Amino acid sequence: MHILLVNDDGIHAPGLNSLHAELVKFAQVTVVAPAVEQSGVGHSITYLHPLLAHREYRQDEFFGWKVEGSPADCVKLGIMELAQPRPDLVVSGINHGANVGINILYSGTVAAAIEGAFFGVTSFALSQWLGNSAPRFPQAARLGAQLIQQIMARNPPTGSLWNINFPTWSTKDQSSDEPWPRGVRLTSMGVSRQRETLEKRIDPRGRTYYWTGLEPIHGHELVEGSDVAALVDGYVTVTPLHFDLTSRAQLMQAEANWSPLVIPPQHDQE
């Protein structure tokens, strides 16, 4: 098995390094990752200037490619040029922070997996919710590699897309003997956000500036069955996604109930 490993935190991120250490135990792994952090860039691509890729070495051995571009750039470049033979899987992560609810739409980590699915390659995005605790990337990487193998053993459709999130350790009751995480749940994407946070501040020179994105988890409604609710409850969440944004129900309703849409007669303007 050949895996293209990408992320949005950059090629030096500890989450990517931990995941690489686990994936190479059962697969050939090609790393193509951003040269610097690309968090929150979504599905942006580079086309206004050349896309540069440089060889990255660790202890005098080739480790992978660092790309001066976005996570989606890394996948496109990896599949089309750098990862040969064509990868069987695209794995993105482990992200430094959760990617659940509508925050998925902003995520460079998930965008990299979506780009893999665009190419018809089964793809996974993995993220670690931090909360108030330090990340435990080695543990998350070990579990993530196991979950990837379990999902693949079930023969999912080629080109399918999976979003996996690991809970924070800060909510664990240290006096409890209950295992942590509490288990794994298949979930839907939470789409109900109950509040936005925008913090206004003044810098030492009296200028106004703003911080956004301060409530990536707790700004969402905890809808039963959603990825947000299960993650807060201490479960690893596994959510199948699709990049087709068509509203099928609305399309069918329009086709059934609307009169045909037409272009009105055009009159030349003098």
Q: Which residue has the tokens 């202890």?
A: 59
Element (H or E) spanning 112, and its range? helix 108-118
- At 246, is the secondary structure helix, strand, or coil? coil
On whether 39 is known to bind a ligand per the annotation, the reply is: yes
Report the amino acid identity of residue 5.
Answer: L
Distance from C-alpha of 104 to C-alpha of 120, rounded to nearest angstrom: 20
Distance from C-alpha of 252 to C-alpha of 239, rounded to nearest angstrom: 26
Q: Which residue has the tokens 């991120």?
A: 13
Chain centroid offset of residue 72 CA = 11
Tokens encoding 263:
């272009």
On whether 8 is known to bind a ligand per the annotation, the reply is: yes
Tokens encoding 233:
């409850």
Distance from C-alpha of 110 to C-alpha of 72, rounded to nearest angstrom: 9
On whether 9 is known to bind a ligand per the annotation, the reply is: yes
Residues tagged in the binding site annotation: 8-9, 39, 95
Residues tagged in the binding site annotation for a divalent metal cation: 8-9, 39, 95
